[in-house]
Amino acid sequence: MKAQQDQLVIYNSLKGEKEPFVPMVEGKVGMYVCGPTLYSEPHMGNMRTFINFDLIYRYLLHLGFRVKYVRNVTDAGHITNSAGQEVDSIGVAAKAEQLQSLEIVYKYAVKFQELQRIYNMLPPSIEPTATQHIQEQIEIIEQIIANGYAYEVNGSVYFDTRRYMQDYNYGILSGRKVDELENETRTLNAQDEKRFFADFALWKKANPDDMQVWRSPWGNGNPGWHIECTAMSTKYLGKQFDIHGGGMDLKFPHHEDEIAQSCGSFGCNPARYWMHANMLNVNGQKMSKSFGNYFLPKQILDGTTGLFEKSYTANVVRFFMMQAHYRSNLDFTQEALNASEKGYARLIEGLKTLENLPATTSTFDVAALIASFYKAMNDDFNAPILVANLFEAVKQINLVNDGNAGISAADKSELKAAMEVFVHEVLGLAPENIATETRLAPVMDLVLDLRQQARTNKDWTTSDQIRDGLAKAGIIVKDGKEGTAWS
């Protein structure tokens, strides 16, 4: 695996190009990913980012890296809404549901955990929350002030962007230049307090109706939106670590400000590789709460999105996502989902067929095929290419199955092992639940036996009655050369 580790290339948003991945400590990876804000149930778009980083995490683990994967949970914070007003989203949700902030957070945290299980995401090494790290945030703010890159005004603390720009490059990640940023003349509460429009809050003085308030050297208040990630990534991964990830939409201002905070307090960019996952689209537009074009991850499983005629399993949804690169937009359409459903079935069938293949002599290069799996993933986690290569394997498997190709016993077991690893462990497609099948099998044997009797007697009415009845129950009967199968 060491050899494969050395082949890994990652697209670094910081430089805008792919580069060989060289971890700070050989064989180890520190990775931080911005998690959800728990004021509502994460929608499918949110999930795509987490599923993509789950893929990345899984492949790093497969390569043998010891990965420390930290993904935070935002359960506090003073933030601004689309109208430019300061709103504590969690507080708003809490008031709307007549609950305390912590109840809201916990409620959605439980849902998020459930979704992670359903979509077969590996739990991160640590899932720290903002409210558990108020002290750490305060300490970093103090350090930034001490270094001269922040100032206090009336119980709030702001990052001094102009001062910072004398020593560092603000905009290094997003490519933004401050003098090109439009100086919006919005009437923000904080506008008067800021020395410069591009300054951002590190600490906000409490409002009278705030549901959550913390004590600080500057009085009661709330931490700014960006500082929690700096505090938690530093605490668990150090002042500098290997990979920082998140959604594309966090690039600016969130990640830009994280860099500023780290440079402003410790003098270094927190991460060596910045990775950004692209958005999930519905009808060509980003899925988001504000557009209202979102649906929940569970709705697609029970067919209640209102967008699609039928439901899809979590594996199909995940497979669908794996067929697009993490840096590309992905359009969620029924036709595409149906295509994935069938493609997924073909892949899994191929895997089953492989097990029962007769061993002869190999007529195709199994080693090269397996190498192609690695080559795809080593090229910036190119899952779509991996999937294409897996289908190439399926094609060969079917050819062997039809007697038009051959595979040796040794190659067969190697291919089987490799495919199972890439399908289940790397792509994270959960093995189908065989427990249900095991329990149902005797019943199905009986039913299909009765149907076979009817067919032998050319009693097509009874035969089709059984077939259609099972179809209604979601069980598809397949008549083949060697008997009848079901699924």
Partner RNA sequence: GGUCUCAUGGCCGAGCGGUUAGGCACCGGUCUGCAAAACCGUCUACAGCAGUUCGAAUCUGCUUGAGACCUCCA
Q: Write out the binding residues for RNA, residues 107-126 only, by CB under 7 A.
A: none
Buried b (16+ CB within 10 A) or exposed e, 242-255: bbbbbbbebbebbb
Decide if residue 97 touches RNA (CB under 7 A).
no
Round to whole Å and give the CA distance between 337 and 343. 10
Angle between helical axes of 460-472 and 434-456 (0-180°, round to 10): 160
Q: How far is the CB of 404 from RNA (least distance, A)?
A: 7
Binding mask 397-436 vs RNA (x if CB under 7 A, - otherwise)? Answer: -xx-xx----------------------------------
Of the candidate residues 277, 366, 423, 429, the single one contacting RNA (CB under 7 A): 277
Round to whole Å and give the CA distance between 232 and 76. 13
- Closer CB to RNA, 99 or 475, in the complex: 475
- Closer CB to RNA, 41 or 147, in the complex: 41
Of the candidate residues 110, 339, 409, 441, the single one contacting RNA (CB under 7 A): 339
Binding mask 74-93 vs RNA (x if CB under 7 A, - otherwise)? Answer: x----xxxx-x----x----
Beta strands in 266-342 (DSSP E): 271-277, 280-282, 285-286, 330-331
- Closer CB to RNA, 79 or 314, in the complex: 79
Decide if residue 96 touches RNA (CB under 7 A).
no
Of the candidate residues 23, 128, 223, 247, the single one contacting RNA (CB under 7 A): 247
Of the candidate residues 230, 340, 362, 378, the single one contacting RNA (CB under 7 A): 340
Tell me the three state secondary structure of residue 29: strand
Q: How far is the CB of 267 from RNA (least distance, A)?
A: 25
Q: How far is the CB of 63 from RNA (least distance, A)?
A: 19
- Closer CB to RNA, 147 or 251, in the complex: 251
Q: How far is the CB of 480 from RNA (least distance, A)?
A: 5
Angle between helical axes of 134-146 and 227-237 (0-180°, round to 10): 100
What are φ and ψ of residue 124, in 5° steps? -65, 170
Of the candidate residues 118, 336, 371, 470, the single one contacting RNA (CB under 7 A): 336
- Please, which residues bridge with residue 282 across strands? 285
- Residues in contact with RNA, total (CB under 7 A)? 95
Round to whole Å and give the CA distance between 249 and 431. 33
Q: Which of residues 279-308 bind RNA (CB under 7 A)?
A: 279-281, 284-291, 294
Q: Which of residues 431-470 bind RNA (CB under 7 A)?
A: 455, 460, 463-464, 467
- Closer CB to RNA, 254 or 272, in the complex: 254
Angle between helical axes of 101-118 and 89-96 (0-180°, round to 10): 100
Q: Which residues have a Cβ under 8 Å from the Cβ of 383 and sit 6 or more positions away? A: 55, 322, 323, 324, 325, 326, 376, 377, 427
Q: Which of residues 135-194 bind RNA (CB under 7 A)?
A: 174-176, 180-182, 184
- Closer CB to RNA, 249 or 420, in the complex: 249
- Closer CB to RNA, 287 or 429, in the complex: 287
- Closer CB to RNA, 26 or 402, in the complex: 402
Of the candidate residues 338, 360, 363, 413, the single one contacting RNA (CB under 7 A): 338
- Find tokens 């289908």 and name the residue: 391
The answer to whether residues 279 and 249 touch, using CB atoms and an 8 Å cutoff, is: yes
- Closer CB to RNA, 84 or 303, in the complex: 84
Measured torsion, CA atoms of residues 104, 110, 115, 118, in degrees rounded to the nearest 10: -160
Measured in whole angstroms, the distance separating CA 400 from the mean position of its chain's CA atoms is 36
The bridge status of strand 28-33 relative to strand 241-247 is: parallel
Round to whole Å and give the CA distance between 419 and 147. 53
Of the candidate residues 41, 392, 414, 432, the single one contacting RNA (CB under 7 A): 392
Q: How far is the CB of 106 from RNA (least distance, A)?
A: 17
Q: Which of residues 209-238 bind RNA (CB under 7 A)?
A: 225
Q: How far is the CB of 345 from RNA (least distance, A)?
A: 5
Decide if residue 195 touches RNA (CB under 7 A).
no
* Tokens matching residue 476: 């598809």
The answer to whether residues 37 and 89 touch, using CB atoms and an 8 Å cutoff, is: yes
Beta strands in 418-482 (DSSP E): 477-480
The answer to whether residues 324 and 330 touch, using CB atoms and an 8 Å cutoff, is: yes
- Closer CB to RNA, 147 or 176, in the complex: 176
Binding mask 341-380 vs RNA (x if CB under 7 A, - otherwise)? Answer: -xx-xx--xx----------------------------xx
Q: How far is the CB of 206 from RNA (least distance, A)?
A: 18
Q: Which window, 19-27, 104-112, 266-274, 340-348, contacts RNA (CB under 7 A)?
A: 340-348
Round to whole Å and give the CA distance between 128 and 119. 21
- Closer CB to RNA, 299 or 398, in the complex: 398
Q: How far is the CB of 33 from RNA (least distance, A)?
A: 8
Helix (H) or strand (E) segment spanning residue 33 = strand 28-33
What are φ and ψ of residue 273, in 5° steps? -125, 120
The answer to whether residues 143 and 265 touch, using CB atoms and an 8 Å cutoff, is: yes
Round to whole Å and give the CA distance between 444 and 451. 10
Q: How far is the CB of 67 from RNA (least distance, A)?
A: 19
